[in-house]
Amino acid sequence: MDVFAGHRALSRSLRAPAITIGNFDGVHRGHAALVRQARSLVGAHGEAVVLTFDPHPVQVLAPQAAPPLITTHARKLELLAAAGADAVVVEPFTAALAALSPDAFVAEVLAAACGARHIVVGADFTYGKNRGGNVDTLAAAGARHGFEVAVVPPVSVDGEVASSTRVRGYLRAGETRRAAALLGRAYDMDGVVVRGAGRGKGLGVATANVATDGQLLCAAGIYAVVLERPGFDPHPMPAVASLGTNPTFTDAGTLVLEVHVLDFDADLYGARVRVGFIDRLRDEARFDSVDALLAQIRADIDAARAIFAAGGAAIS
């Protein structure tokens, strides 16, 4: 998949492109449907192209209201490639871009630079200064510039529309199963294993401390997770994770992600890993003694094993 740093950085002509436009944070089931529609329109001779923005427009227009991002930029690109995109145009979102009128955005970006043949958007799509353009004005602009507009209806899962806002809400509540249903996969975070306090190893339950690349959205607690090493080992390893502040040992700790991989004792220091959040087991808690903590850890491991034994890591 080719990636271009904005419409002015296109190093080649896009081939009869079907372009879908949006932020694509999380690349949930609704986003995947947009890419699939673009893919279906171009067949073997054109390109399914994603036009997305960096930074997120709200970070520029109203930074105090900017949402935490579900995926890092790198992970978003990886997921868009997996969804079927042939190319991604990462448009730098600036005040100047936000000031373009709907007509100017279409003429300069979509028509002149990208050579759009099809535009694929959701029914609530808006664009241009003050969000002045919508699917009707886009269709009218297409008639002038020679592209067609396809409107993809919302994707619902169990009666609930997939959206980045809903996914964030579920993650903040620790409802990873419901978030996964909308994402079409487990919520995951990439990061590097770093040295921690060494308490887990001392307790006989070694953990990998993961310094994550992006913002941790999940509520603090204990989770059944899988740990992967992308590019090294494609097989996810069942694990238990603590996302919290270690209240048994510290009074005001920072949020730390610690992962205990089941039936695994190799050294992971320095490894790049991906942690997929499968299910929340319980709240984080302070224990009166190390023995009480260890008893709970063993119970958490047993609970995670039961989830994995029942096929609980599968996302349908």
pLDDT in tens, 278-312: 999 999 888 888 888 899 999 999 999 999 999 87
Residues 147 and 237 in one domain: no
Residue written as token pair 């960096």: 54
Is 159 part of any domain?
no
Asked if 22 and 34 touch (Cβ cutoff 8 Å), the reply is yes
Q: Give the number of domains in the chain.
A: 2
Check if 228 is active-site: no
- Are 119 and 195 in a shared domain? no
Question: Does some domain include residue 57?
Answer: yes
Which residue ranges in the chain fall short of pLDDT 70? 197-203, 247-249, 251-252, 314-316
Same domain, 30 and 92: yes
Residue 35 lies in a domain: yes
Residue 88 is part of a domain; what is its CATH number?
Answer: 3.40.50.620
Q: Is residue 217 part of a domain?
A: yes
Q: Do 51 and 193 fall into the same domain?
A: no
pLDDT value of residue 286:
84
Q: What is the pLDDT of residue 199?
A: 65
In a domain, 91, yes or no: yes
Q: Which residues of 139-158 are buried (b: 16+ CB within 10 A; e: fewer)?
A: eebbeebebebbbbeebebe
Shared domain check, 212 and 141: no
Q: How many residues are recorded in the chain?
A: 316
Residue 30 is predicted with a pLDDT of: 97
Cβ–Cβ < 8 Å for 167, 182: yes
* Same domain membership, residue 149 and residue 95: yes
Q: State which of 129, 154, 179 marks the end of a domain.
A: 154
Same domain, 204 and 266: yes
pLDDT at 238: 97
Please tell me whether residues 149 and 191 are part of one structural domain: no
* Nearest alpha-carbon partner for 120 in 184, 188, 204, 30: 30
Q: For position 302, which CATH number holds?
A: 2.40.30.30
Q: What is the pLDDT of residue 251?
A: 67
| Same structural domain, 15 and 118 | yes
214 shares its domain with 147: no
Confidence at residue 202, expressed as pLDDT on a 0 to 100 scale: 60
Residue 245 belongs to a domain: yes
Per-residue confidence (pLDDT) for residue 289, from 0 to 100: 83
pLDDT for the residue 255: 86
Can you give the pTM of this predicted structure? 0.91
pLDDT digit string, tens, across residues 59-109: 999 999 989 999 999 999 999 999 999 999 999 999 999 999 999 999 999
Domain of 210 in residue numbering reads as: 187-309
Please give the DSSP secondary-structure letter assigned to residue 190: E
- Asked if 36 and 149 sit in the same domain, the reply is yes
Both 92 and 149 in one domain: the answer is yes
Query: What is the model's pLDDT at position 211?
Result: 94
Decide if 37 is inside a domain.
Answer: yes
Is 209 a member of any domain?
A: yes
Single out the catalytic residue among 91, 160, 258, 284.
258
What pLDDT shows up at residue 203? 67
